[in-house]
Structure 1
Amino acid sequence: MNISVEFTLLPLQNDFESPIQDFIKELRASKFKVLENPLSTQVYGSYDELMPFLNDTIKVSFESIEHVVLNMKIVKSDRSDYEPNF
């Protein structure tokens, strides 16, 4: 089963850019398809492979940031090729 996951990482600190960049670099270094835009990052892959990777990556990020919010949406399908038709 393939999934699409959208993240918005929100470090609650003055230096917020570095933790976001570190998180995105970890996602980019993975074998999963990663798409970015100014407001969020999307990752696509197999549920059984992607979720353990995300669990570990989020934990590392949370351990390095004292106060942080992570918004995450999970869709049960690969939406990486979505194009509006309107």
Structure 2
Amino acid sequence: MQVTIDVSMYPNREDFIPPIKGFIEKINCYPGLEVQTFPTSTVVQGEYQAAMQAVQDTIAACREEFDMAVYVLKVIPGYEAF
């Protein structure tokens, strides 16, 4: 099943751009996913398990590298945005 995941990241720091760029760079490394970045969110589309795992792993990696952030996800199963 295909899924579309809309991710917004809100780093808890004044210099918020590097963590957001880090998230985008990391999520783009996963094969088999289509990723598009917009001014307020990044949209990840692909097979459900792969896309969910990629988002989960990327959030975990960013937590270790950049510390605290709030993430808002919209998960739309069975929908292909692109």
Normalising by structure 1, we get a TM-score of 0.84
Matches within 5 A, 1:1-86: 1-31=1-31, 32-81=33-82
Q: CA RMSD in A?
A: 1.2
On the 8 A contact 1:45/1:78 being kept in 2, the answer is no
Normalising by structure 2, we get a TM-score of 0.88
Query: Who wins on radius of gyration, i.e. which is larger?
Result: 1
The answer for unaligned runs of 5 or more in structure 1 is: 82-86
How many pairs are equivalent? 81
How far off is 1:66 after superposition? 2.8
Between the aligned partners of 2:57 and 2:36, the Cα distance in structure 1 is 20
Letter of the structure 2 residue corresponding to residue 43 of structure 1 = V
How far off is 1:35 after superposition? 1.0
**More displaced, 48-57 or 67-76?**
48-57
